[in-house]
Chain A
Amino acid sequence: MKRELICVACPLGCTVTVEYNDEEILSVTGNTCKRGEAYAKTEITNPTRSLTSSVKVNGGVLPVVPVKSSKPVPKSMLFDCMKVINSVTVDAPVKIGQVIIENILDTGADIIATNND
């Protein structure tokens, strides 16, 4: 089988062609860098996405602080992760890089703050 994908691992957005059968990936072509190959492989086997959102803050300068997943989470779990993220409130001060939710829904990804508040 052959599938054409757009690599979303970086903003260049290369068109990557993957050839595969039921057992394995046979070839990946069209990618500019190694990340493209890795992206294409997971996209065929278990698509993942990095998740960014914001979390409510008590007593900060701004009412919310932006967060991201420390690594991509399964695409099918994005909305479940959002539910968890929206149920959390943290107290100020929040530091950039601070872990807000550890190992969210057992995905192995932490939810970490991406700004100070």
Chain B
Amino acid sequence: MLNYDLVVVGGGPAGMAAALKAKECGVDSIIVLERAEALGGILEQCIHTGFGLHYFGEELSGPEYAAKFIEQVEKTDITVKTDTMVLDIDGNNLVTAVNKADGLLKIQAKAIVLAMGCRERPRGALEISGTRASGIMTAGTAQKYVNLDGYMPGKKVVILGSGDIGLIMARRMTLEGAEVKVVCELMPYSGGLTRNIVQCLDDFGIPLKLSTTVVETHGKDRLEGVTIAQVDEKLQPIESTKEYIECDTLMLSVGLIPENELTKNVGIGIDRITNGAVVDEMRQTDHKGIFACGNVLHVHDLVDYVTLEAQIAGKGAADYILGKCDNEPCYVNTTTGNGVRYLVPQKVNINNKEAVKLYFRVGRIYKNAKVILECDGKIISSKKKVKLAPGEMEDVVIPADVLAGMTPESSIVVRVEE
């Protein structure tokens, strides 16, 4: 059995930033376990630019952003094991992992940071009838084919779902000479960043059909076409709007799900909306010494925010290991008010001496609305927003003096007012 102060599960941007921060805070022995052959996580296949503007002040591609952190990790004495898959974490922070060189690994940790990222929602999660022809894949799988394997998965493409990966792939396929016929989105709004709609669809005249879905796929061995239809308010397809579109590839970009099997096995409480762990302001879960950050906690659209969140978790884990943690935290839950779908962190230790930033997403599009933070029935802040969209994460800060004045019976509510 090995002993480490800190075990980090996942070597994407979240895992690397958490490990580096913990090192900086004085943690002695740290190990990062990564399933893939190399560090970097999903960024390795995101070759478009748009990463790091907020954190580094320059526009980087995914691999470049990752490389900056890989370089820093290599300069420290942090142990990295790639090709290593974590199989289990038990209630006493004992981590079981496996790789070819070591076989089965047992690692006893003082603290653990979960940074497993997320995976794409597969076809099975959707109700599309039709044959199991080849040519149907998630947008992320297509992204891996094109960007890492140098292989074009098709020539005539329909994309279902307007998540960022789908939008990015619409542009990528178009630039590589494929014809992207349409992007269909079930909801009346896009789940992707506005900038991606502008520069990935509008720039190339690719239509985005909202409130539209794919109802059937056609073709026996290879996909030959799909039937799309508009949906009503109950998201049911409208018969009379059915339309056949010829295509050899259907890409799905219908959402990401945090990869939380390990988390659930430890018995950690999961938030029903984020599908990630319930955490406090240090990103500690309800299991002492286990922290979570990045896409495994809630799906982020900007890696810069992933890095910032991972640094909070890394600092939290360091405090825990070095015995600087508050042993008798006094928690107040954060509550979602009108229009707010979820809040992270879900609870805040009011003994905390510093201001706490709450991240959230709204449930639909709002124009000229106000984001209101209300503590104990008093409006603490009211911020005007020209636009709020479900695809874009927002934040609001609870000032330190407000926290200082709270009691265990206090309330923290974030809501949207039109």
Of B4-12, B59-67, B236-244, B355-363, the one with at least 4 CB within 8 A of chain A: B59-67
Which chain A residue lies CB-closest to B50?
A11
Asked if A96 contacts B64 (CB within 8 A), the reply is yes
CB-CB under 8 A from A63, the residues of chain B are 149-150
A75 at interface by CB-CB < 8 Å:
yes
B148 at interface by CB-CB < 8 Å:
yes
CB-CB under 8 A from A116, the residues of chain B are 67
From 49 to 78 in chain A, residues with beta carbon under 8 angstroms from any chain B beta carbon are 49-54, 56, 62-64, 66, 68, 75, 78
Asked if B59 contacts A114 (CB within 8 A), the reply is no
B194 at interface by CB-CB < 8 Å:
yes
Asked if B198 contacts A6 (CB within 8 A), the reply is yes
The secondary-structure label for the interface of chain B is: mixed
Asked if B175 contacts A6 (CB within 8 A), the reply is no
Asked if A53 contacts B193 (CB within 8 A), the reply is no
Asked if B63 contacts A115 (CB within 8 A), the reply is yes
CB-CB under 8 A from A75, the residues of chain B are 203
CB-CB under 8 A from B195, the residues of chain A are 6-8, 10-13
CB-CB under 8 A from A96, the residues of chain B are 63-64, 67
From 75 to 116 in chain A, residues with beta carbon under 8 angstroms from any chain B beta carbon are 75, 78-79, 82, 86, 96, 114-116
Asked if B194 contacts A10 (CB within 8 A), the reply is no
Which chain B residue lies CB-closest to A86?
B176
Given contacts A6-B195, A11-B193, A11-B195, contact A53 B67 (CB under 8 A): no
B199 at interface by CB-CB < 8 Å:
yes
CB-CB under 8 A from B147, the residues of chain A are 54, 64, 66
Asked if B198 contacts A8 (CB within 8 A), the reply is yes
Chain B proximity of A52: nearest CB distance (Å): 5
Instruction: Please list 11 pairs of residues, one from A and one from B, whose beta carbons are closer than 8 Å in the complex, sorted by A's number.
Output: A8-B195, A8-B198, A9-B59, A10-B54, A10-B59, A13-B392, A52-B49, A54-B147, A68-B47, A114-B60, A114-B61
Asked if A52 contacts B198 (CB within 8 A), the reply is no
Asked if A49 contacts B387 (CB within 8 A), the reply is no
Given contacts A63-B149, A66-B147, A115-B63, contact A11 B49 (CB under 8 A): no
CB-CB under 8 A from B386, the residues of chain A are 15, 30
B48 at interface by CB-CB < 8 Å:
yes
From 26 to 50 in chain A, residues with beta carbon under 8 angstroms from any chain B beta carbon are 30, 49-50
CB-CB under 8 A from A7, the residues of chain B are 195
B 380-392 binary contact with A (CB < 8 Å = 1; else 0): 0000001100001
Asked if A62 contacts B149 (CB within 8 A), the reply is yes
Asked if B63 contacts A56 (CB within 8 A), the reply is no
- Our pick among B44, B47, B64, B301 for the contact of A11 (Cβ within 8 Å) is B301
Binding site for B on A (CB under 8 A): 6-13, 15, 30, 49-54, 56, 62-64, 66, 68, 75, 78-79, 82, 86, 96, 114-116
Query: CA–CA, A116 to B149, complex, Å?
Result: 15
Other than the known A54-B146, A64-B148, A66-B147, what 15 A-B pairs have Cβ atoms closer than 8 Å? A8-B199, A10-B54, A13-B194, A13-B195, A13-B392, A15-B386, A50-B49, A50-B59, A52-B49, A52-B61, A53-B175, A54-B47, A63-B150, A114-B47, A115-B64
Query: CA–CA, A106 to B160, complex, Å?
Result: 38
Chain A proximity of B168: nearest CB distance (Å): 10
CB-CB under 8 A from A53, the residues of chain B are 47, 172, 175-176
Chain B proximity of A66: nearest CB distance (Å): 4
- Our pick among B53, B64, B146, B149 for the contact of A10 (Cβ within 8 Å) is B53
B 183-222 binary contact with A (CB < 8 Å = 1; else 0): 0000000000111001100010000000000000000000
Chain B proximity of A95: nearest CB distance (Å): 11
Query: CA–CA, A83 to B50, complex, Å?
Result: 23
Asked if B50 contacts A10 (CB within 8 A), the reply is yes
Given contacts A54-B147, A75-B203, contact A15 B61 (CB under 8 A): no
Query: CA–CA, A49 to B300, complex, Å?
Result: 24
Query: CA–CA, A67 to B177, complex, Å?
Result: 17
Chain B proximity of A101: nearest CB distance (Å): 15
Query: CA–CA, A51 to B199, complex, Å?
Result: 11
Residue from A6, A82, A116 with most neighbouring chain B CB atoms (10 Å):
A6
B 138-155 binary contact with A (CB < 8 Å = 1; else 0): 000000001111100000
CB-CB under 8 A from B54, the residues of chain A are 10
Asked if B47 contacts A79 (CB within 8 A), the reply is no
Given contacts A8-B198, A63-B150, A79-B175, contact A13 B64 (CB under 8 A): no
CB-CB under 8 A from A86, the residues of chain B are 176
CB-CB under 8 A from B47, the residues of chain A are 52-54, 66, 68, 114-115
CB-CB under 8 A from B398, the residues of chain A are none
CB-CB under 8 A from B44, the residues of chain A are 115
CB-CB under 8 A from B302, the residues of chain A are 11
Chain B proximity of A41: nearest CB distance (Å): 17
Which chain A residue lies CB-closest to B38?
A61
CB-CB under 8 A from A64, the residues of chain B are 147-150
